């Protein structure tokens, strides 16, 4: 059995250059700078002249614990080497946020008239770009054309814009990605080097916990929150996949920062079965991370029963085994990955499930340890393939674990 250490638990010692453009969304970048520093990253910051109309060099210098650079520094011969060359060679990763329409056009056409654009041309590392602008600006044909061209350059990793209330008091597209989304994207890029190794893949993922109702307020369920499946969906999206996420009873706050993907909301095992079966034939990979009920009450009452009217026992029926059904449908070119949440010995029941349900691989994870399993932000697992390879994944964030699972699928199953 291989012992697979967590690849990425923090940004420790990563050299990240943050370039701040002019726009009210610049205030969000302060959170990104602060969190990256707290997670151990080395952070340098460039502020454009227009960015300084919204946040000051003193603010970001305080958060990064380093001098913030401006065009005033660019034109001063006070550095041992040209500043844009030094910063460009130093950076492992660059973030431009907010990316304005003006800077977008400059990047597309290779213009270099300030410290930010000169540094981009003097560097070779991946560049994550987070645009922000008024809806009318974002939807202009010229801006859309530039955005498409930039995305065709493999160096640049474009983040989506959100829809919401803008500084102009309009609700629409153009709102910059939230700090949590930006940091997740940066983590993915550090892990993959910016490669889109799931490009052209359709990935179907289930998550959350199904509920089988006895009456309108009582149900048979489980503690799954859906965090593992959401982390898998984000990691697959960042690596270029087209993702369909089937979520059972996932709290809205966990879904608010999801990247653009198809989200299907379900409640019961029957609803999840329908959604998974309907989308299975077009999926290259299917990852069944949801916790699905095994049984349901034979009768579901339409009104709440009072305590005096509760039956002495509840008759139960089994529900369809979704992953086993998908296993029978699976074509040779498809991959079907299951999850097995277990107590005690996690390997033996996972091996049984792997074989019996015709899975390509299974992720066995304990739920009887502290900070592991349902509802936590961290997890650990053993990845087992159909040919018997076992790889231990050490405790890590669920997002980091997701990237490790994807790496193992690519390395052992593809």
Q: Name the token pair of 375.
A: 């509802």
CB atoms within 10 A of CB 412: 16
Residue 1, Cβ density class (10 Å: 0-12 exposed, 13-18 middle, ≥19 buried): exposed
Q: Mark whether 19 is an active-site residue.
A: no
Query: What's the rounded Cα separation, in Å, for the pair 388 and 401?
Result: 20
Closest to 380 measured CA to CA, from 9, 46, 94, 100? 9
Dihedral angle of Cα 69, 118, 176, 232, to the nearest 10 degrees: -100
Phi, psi of 345 (to 5 degrees): -70, 110
Active-site hit among 19, 30, 125, 168: 168
- Three-state SS for 375? coil
Of 353, 236, 239, 340, give the one whose Cα is nearest residue 286: 236
Do residues 349 and 357 make contact, with C-beta atoms less than 8 angstroms apart?
Answer: no
Q: Residue 304: CB partners within 8 Å, gap ≥ 6?
A: 215, 216, 217, 218
Cα–Cα distance for residue pair 150/148, rounded to 1 Å: 5
Supply the Cα-derived Rg of the chain in whole angstroms: 24
Give dist(CA 175, CA 24) in Å, integer: 10
- Rounded CA-CA distance 263/345 in Å is 34
The DSSP secondary structure of 49-87, one letter per residue, reads TTGGGTS-HHHHHHHHTSPEE-HHHHTS--SSS-HHHHH
Give catalytic residues, as residue numbers: 168
């Amino acid at each position: 059995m291989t012992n697979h250490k967590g690849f990425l638990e923090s940004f420790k010692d990563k050299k990240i250059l943050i370039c701040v453009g002019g726009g009210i969304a610049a205030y969000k970048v302060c959170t990104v700078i602060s969190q990256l520093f707290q997670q151990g990253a080395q952070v340098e910051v460039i502020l454009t002249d227009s960015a300084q109309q919204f946040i000051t060099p003193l603010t970001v210098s305080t958060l990064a614990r380093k001098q913030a650079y401006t065009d005033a520094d660019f034109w001063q011969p006070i550095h041992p080497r040209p500043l844009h060359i030094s910063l460009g060679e130093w950076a492992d990763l660059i973030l431009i946020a907010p990316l304005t329409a003006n800077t977008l056009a400059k990047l597309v056409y290779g213009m270099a008239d300030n410290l930010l654009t000169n540094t981009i041309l003097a560097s070779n590392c991946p560049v994550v770009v987070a645009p922000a602008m008024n809806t009318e600006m974002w939807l202009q044909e010229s801006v859309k054309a530039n955005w498409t061209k930039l995305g065709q350059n493999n160096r640049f990793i474009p983040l989506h814009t959100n829809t919401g209330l803008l500084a102009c008091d309009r609700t629409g597209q153009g709102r910059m990605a939230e700090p949590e989304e930006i940091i997740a994207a940066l983590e993915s890029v550090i892990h993959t080097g910016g490669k889109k190794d799931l490009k052209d893949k359709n990935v179907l993922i289930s998550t959350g916990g199904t509920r089988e109702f006895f009456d309108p307020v009582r149900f048979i369920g489980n503690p799954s929150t859906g965090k593992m499946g959401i982390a898998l969906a984000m990691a697959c999206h960042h690596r270029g996949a087209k993702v369909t996420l089937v979520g059972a009873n996932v709290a809205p706050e966990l879904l608010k920062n999801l990247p653009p993907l198809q989200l299907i909301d379900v409640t019961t095992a029957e609803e999840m079965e329908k959604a998974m079966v309907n989308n299975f034939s077009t999926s290259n990979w299917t990852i069944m991370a949801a916790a699905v009920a095994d049984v349901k009450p034979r009768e579901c009452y339409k009104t709440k029963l009072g305590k005096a009217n509760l039956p002495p026992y509840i008759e139960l029926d089994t529900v369809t085994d979704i992953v086993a059904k998908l296993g029978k449908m699976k074509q040779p070119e498809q991959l079907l990955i299951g999850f097995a949440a277990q107590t005690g010995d996690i390997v033996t029941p996972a091996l049984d499930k792997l074989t019996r349900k015709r899975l390509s691989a299974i992720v066995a994870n304990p739920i009887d340890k502290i900070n592991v399993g349902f509802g936590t932000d961290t997890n650990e697992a053993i990845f087992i393939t159909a040919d018997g390879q076992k790889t231990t994944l050490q405790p890590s964030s669920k997002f980091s674990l997701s990237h490790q699972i994807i790496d193992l699928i690519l390395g052992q199953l593809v």
